[in-house]
Structure 1
Amino acid sequence: MSQNKIDLLLELNSESPNDPFPYFALAKEYEKISEYDKAIEQYKKLVNDFPSYGGTYYHYAILLIQSQKNQTALEIIESGLTVLLDNGDRHLYSELAGLKENYFE
């Protein structure tokens, strides 16, 4: 089932390269099948090409923490907090701040 979703999302990415959602969904699908390097690639693309897509930072940081890449996770959290504060997204900001508090303070 996941491979069908992955194929569909890859097609959506090629058809709508300026839409961040398929990249995010693709990252989550790669996580489901333990393709963590591929998931990280998608999250990196989101952070670089769609920095305002706020949900990326929390999920990306969680994956990095689970992969024991704590320094990179902290950097992603810090970047995300700045973006979310600038965007006025208090809900996602508080979730990401809570993640930082739970793992790094």
Structure 2
Amino acid sequence: MSCGKPHETDCSEVLEQVWLFLDHECDQERRRLLEHHLDECSPCLERFGIEEHLKVLLRSKCGGDHAPDGLKRRLREKIRETVVEQAATTVQDGAEPR
């Protein structure tokens, strides 16, 4: 996704990392870049609001329980594998990234 305007951080990159931002799992520099982008990009801010609302809803329905560290680790590994696979497919096919 792109709003069509030039930004220091690309819209698709921001939206890929919105969960890391919401979970405070990115370093301060990345957080600053994401905040700056969200401040100047209405479409991403709108999408961020939806994601933030979903996270609050999930937290309230799941009773605030935290996932076990092992589950978090496995999920992160699977997400990384999927991102690498998608990137490799994009390069092989010569298609535009999603």
Same fold by TM-score greater than 0.5: no
Structure with the higher fraction of residues in helix conformation? 1
Structure with the bigger RCO (C-alpha within 8 Å, sep 6+) is 2
Q: What TM-score, normalized by structure 2, do the two folds share?
A: 0.29
Q: What TM-score, normalized by structure 1, do the two folds share?
A: 0.28
